[in-house]
Amino acid sequence: MELIQVIERKKLGFALSDEEIACFAQASVDPATPDYQLSALLMAIRLNGMNAQETTALTLAMARTGDMLSPDVGGITVDKHSTGGVGDTTTLILVPLVAACGGKVLKMSGRGLGHTGGTIDKMESIAGLRATLSQQEMLDIVRRVGCVVAGQSAQLAPADKRLYALRDVTSTVDSIPLIASSIMSKKLASGAQGIVLDVKTGDGALMKTFEDCLKLAQAMVDIGSRAGRRVTALITGMEEPLGSHVGNALEVKEAIDVLSGRTQGPLLQVSLMLGAQMLLLSGLAADAQEAEQKLRGALISGAGLRKLRQMIEAQGGDGLVTQDLSRLPQAKVQLPLHTDEAGYLERVDTTRIGLIAQSLGAGRLQVDDVIDPSVGLVLMKRIGDQVRAGDLLGVIHASDNISAQRAAQALRLALHIGPLPVKAAKQLYALITKDHTEVL
């Protein structure tokens, strides 16, 4: 079968057969296939869409272009995926908590690009930690510790790597079938039997509207269910950074603060909601209430923090950071930002805050950019909080005074203070399973 025939059929709006979709996936990993042919088919899919059967077939075909793991770790392996946000450190909190409750978490994570942070970058701010692991190393750590957080192998769904790069330069990023198959092909290839999806909505999310998030969440749950996996999706808010810390070492610090019981708030709330779903998919709790009680028990007893240290040390890192935060990279400049205004924090430009952290060196413009693990910012106010003149709004962590001053000016513009009280930002919008969608 020739790829040009597949392009022609999708251009005319026909549904593609499994064979035609397999041809597309195999062509994408063949260096002899011209980029322009793959781009033409991506645009045809963007314009004419794909039905549920096509999207599932594309996901499976992409997954099968590389390794397909079948983890045997003595339990149901679970994974969590977030569509990206700012100050989203849930992985470093829920992974050890779920493992402390008996779960087996094989978490495949990525690096940050653009205004959203990457879990692997955060992990690598810990001295000595290795996130690039062989398949055998990952499985050994899960068997011994109960959890691992590792980078996505180049051998997992290699078709996605090329197609993702082409989507970025052909204005085909905003296609739900292409987004869903990209995410789920890697999750299916990694072998997770239970998958919890955290689909972000709001200013700081990649998908801004609830309607688009709901379509994406339903598509991904449907793909996983058709592929024989247990999948649940939550749509959660990104109208403001989820945590108060934005930046790699800073977010590790906040995760440790949460696991130590020193910090409460939305970051812990969302971590518990996602972790509860992971326990349910693992068969370790009868309902969400029991699952959250177990997670809170692991938090209060310190079992979650101990599990984080075990995982860090199993991956070659300095586990003492869980007791001594000064062992994390420290920024040379820490500049406080105060306000002359009074009122209430009514709105946050969350994407701008992510871009501020990126400009300080915490993120990347290009994949091969080198990041500074020590820089970022800490926010002192959340939406709905009262603000008085002279209050501390945040602290900039920078490598020099010039970049700190520039970031402080930008942060002042990203935080909108109004005269009237407003409600706190919403955290949970919907729960989607194979059998039902509950909008909250």
* Residues recognised as catalytic: 81, 160, 167, 182, 186
Rounded Cα gap, residues 235 and 183, in angstroms? 16
- Give 421: exposed, middle or buried? Use CB within 10 Å, 0-12, 13-18, 19+: exposed
Rounded Cα gap, residues 56 and 58, in angstroms? 5
Rg (CA), the chain: 22
> What DSSP designation does 113 have?
B
Which residue, among 289, 267, 296, 336, has the nearest Cα to 87 in the 3D structure? Answer: 267
Positive/negative CA dihedral, 136, 145, 97, 331 = negative
Rounded Cα gap, residues 76 and 167, in angstroms? 34
What beta strand segments (E) does 192-259 contain?
194-201, 230-237, 245-246
Rounded Cα gap, residues 306 and 96, in angstroms? 8
| b/e code 289-311 from CB counts within 10 Å (16+ = b) | eebbebbbebbeeebbbbbbbbb
Residue indicated by tokens 């810390």: 245
CB atoms within 10 A of CB 217: 28
β-strand 77-82 against 194-201: which pairing, if any?
Answer: parallel
- Give 31: exposed, middle or buried? Use CB within 10 Å, 0-12, 13-18, 19+: exposed
Which residue, among 314, 309, 318, 323, has the nearest Cα to 96 in the 3D structure? Answer: 309
